[in-house]
Amino acid sequence: MDDPLRIIGDGVQSPGGDMGLRGNALVKLFSWLVLLRTFDERAVALQRQGRIGTYPTFWGEEATQAGPLLALRDEDWVFPSYRQNAIGLLRGLPASVPLAYRRGYGGSHGFWNPRRYRVAPMCVPIGTHLPHAVGLAWAAKLRGEDLCSLVWFGDGATSEGDFHEAMNFASVFAAPVIFFCVNNQWAISTPFSRQSGTATVAEKAAAYAMPALRVDGFDPLACWWATREAAERALAGGGPTLIEAVTYRLGPHATADDPTLYRDESEAARYRSLEPVGRMAAYLRRQELLSAELEEEIRAEARAVLDQAVADMESIPQPGAEIMFEHLYAAPPLNRR
């Protein structure tokens, strides 16, 4: 397997041109990275203060989320795992909604209408949303609708039957779906070497006669580029693609986890300088697209979004126990015979 594709190296674009993204689009990508980062940091702080429950942080994985989303069109569907818990923000979802979910609120406070944002409900059971993404893409193809779907999942999910079933079905029916594997090298305490017989995720695509791309998951441009390639192929009738974004889980699995119990944290420290927000900022500064003022403006805007979201979340009255039964029965249980 080749080394993962990297477009931004040490704040400099590698040879090969700009690959199609320039000017304002680059600044927009940076502002998305900052919004995700701001959400993630605020969520961790809120959890530590007891204001929300357990939270799966994605600090360092922002490139694997903002890059692919920018490569899609609004009509394309995305299927997040718990790790892409704030992805809806990039499609206009109020930040109070994913925060309220973490506070245990149901109904429209903690959930969104998937059709409105074309963002499927966040999936916590590992891998179960891969067949959903394939099904949606296949249905769109049968109906002659011009759209594709993208599903995010981790390295651990590749051990699930759902992954293999989804890959096979997508291949056989040439469904317009993008499998976006965020290989952060850990599934809670299980390292990738104990997860997979192959050295990479990308090479598994060969068993399904599917093209694969392997990119640096800390590089937002590489993640954007690979998704663009895959989406163009999918929309042209070329079927599915497997993308492996190679990264490293820089933080704990979630706020309830202590990685010092099972891994050498000096390894995480070695990857830390690759984190995408600083890397993208350095890249934009070199391109003279990001002044100190513009950067502060973007960061201040993200802080304001989160300030408002926290105020909104905390102004929602705490629901009662009856919320457990919402959407469970067509009629309240006591009225049933």
Ligand X SMILES: Cc1ncc(C[n+]2csc(CCOP(=O)(O)OP(=O)(O)O)c2C)c(N)n1
Q: Which residue lies nearer to ligand X by CB, 68 or 176?
A: 68
Using CB under 6 A as the binding rule, the residues of this chain from 58 to 97 that contact ligand X are 83
Question: Counting contacts by CB under 6 A, is residue 256 touching ligand X?
Answer: no
Per the structure block, which two tokens stand in for 57?
A: 């942080």
Could you give the C-alpha distances from 196 to 152, 159, 200, 253, 311, in angstroms and in order?
A: 18, 7, 8, 19, 44
Residue 254 beta carbon to ligand X: minimum distance, rounded to whole angstroms: 8
Task: Look up residue 234 and give its two tokens.
Answer: 């999918």
Region binding ligand X by CB under 6 A among candidate stretches 9-17, 104-112, 153-161, 221-229: 153-161
Binding piece for ligand X, criterion CB under 6 A, among 120-128, 213-221, 232-240, 281-289: 120-128
**Residue whose structure tokens are 């704990």:** 252
Distance CA 243, CA 313 (A): 35
Cβ atoms of 314 and 51 within 8 Å: the answer is yes
Q: With CB cut-offs between 5 and 8 Å by kind, which of Mg ion, ligand X, none does residue 216 bind?
A: none
Instruction: Given the residues 262, 270, 272, 329, select the one marked as catalytic.
Output: 262
Residue 100 interacting entry, from Mg ion, ligand X, none, C-beta within 5 to 8 Å by type? none
| CA separation for the pair 77, 79 (Å, rounded) | 7
Q: How far does CA 300 lie from the centroid of its chain?
A: 23
Q: For ligand X, which residue of 154, 220, 251, 276 counts as binding (CB under 6 A)?
A: 154
Number of alpha carbons in the 13 Å side-chain half-sphere of residue 80: 26
Contact with ligand X (CB under 6 A) among 4, 68, 98, 156 = 156
Told to check if 39 binds ligand X by CB under 6 A, we report no
> Residue from 31, 64, 184, 241 that binds Mg ion (CB under 5 A)?
184
194 part of the active site: no
Among 7, 87, 126, 234, binds ligand X (CB under 6 A): 126
Q: Which of 80, 222, 255 is nearest to 154 (CA)?
A: 80
CB atoms near residue 289 (< 10 Å): 15
In terms of CB distance, is 141 or 253 closer to ligand X? 253
- For Mg ion, the nearest residue by Cβ is 154
Q: Is residue 262 annotated as part of the catalytic site, yes or no?
A: yes
Residues of this chain, 179-238, that bind ligand X according to CB under 6 A: 184, 186-188
Q: Does 155 bind Mg ion (CB under 5 A)?
A: yes
Q: What burial class does residue 197 get, using C-beta atoms within 10 Å of its C-beta: 0-12 exposed, 13-18 middle, 19+ buried?
A: exposed
Which of 118, 253, 279, 283 does the annotation list as catalytic? 253
Amino acid at 175: A
Q: Is 155 in the site for ligand X (CB under 6 A)?
A: yes
CA–CA–CA angle 100, 251, 302 (5° rounding): 50
Query: Under the criterion CB under 6 A, does residue 166 sit at the interface with ligand X?
Result: no
Copy the structure tokens of residue 164. Answer: 């293999």
Interatomic CA distance for residues 211 and 167, integer angstroms: 11
Residues forming contacts to Mg ion in the complex (CB under 5 A) are 154-155, 184, 187
Residues forming contacts to ligand X in the complex (CB under 6 A) are 83, 124-126, 154-157, 184, 186-188, 249, 253
Which of the residues are catalytic? 249, 253, 262
